[in-house]
Amino acid sequence: MPQQFAVGAGRMAGMSDTPHPDPMAEPSALALQATLVDFALAELVRQQRQSFQPLWSRESWAKLLIWLALNCGCGTDTASLEAFAAAIGPSQTARMRRQFFERQLEDLNLIVLADPAEQQVLVWPLGPAIGADAAHDLAFDRVAAALARVGLNDQLVADRSCWQSLEALVAVPWSSPCS
């Protein structure tokens, strides 16, 4: 009876008759499949991203997409590759691209996002500050160590006076135009 009253009261208040999903309900098969595909793609990108040289380039990203398309049975012609890209969709492609160009360095408590399509490489804390404050995590020495670990030193401006320390991240410019 209380549930019927809530639906009736909602209707009187101009609310929808549509019941709200129960957070304790079992997820649908379609939702589980979508989550599985998203998880599998993310893991595939993380496991294969080092295979496509040169790292940290648009070329490496394109090679990954072509590799995925070919392994899904697509042809090498432009129309087939474009159909593959359309099938993935812009949202999933954006998530995959971020995973491709992002590195999480847990021991330094830092994330590095080095997408060559952007003007700068971004570095920010992985989680809560390790030291007394967040400034410790974003100290330029720690950022430099993270950049060296992922192999970006030769591609970035070395002069730390060009680096920007923003509120929650450090932005480091690329030393040359996008590749």
Asked if residue 170 has pLDDT above 60, the reply is yes
Asked if residue 6 has pLDDT above 60, the reply is no
Tokens of 179: 């590749």
pLDDT at 75: 92
Helices (H), the chain: 2-12, 29-48, 58-71, 78-88, 90-101, 134-137, 140-149
Q: Which amino acid is at 13?
A: A
Task: Kindly tell me the number of DSSP H helices and DSSP E strands found in the chain.
Answer: 7, 5
Asked if residue 10 has pLDDT above 50, the reply is no
Q: Specify the pTM.
A: 0.77
pLDDT at 26: 84
How far apart are alpha carbons 150 and 114 in whole angstroms? 10
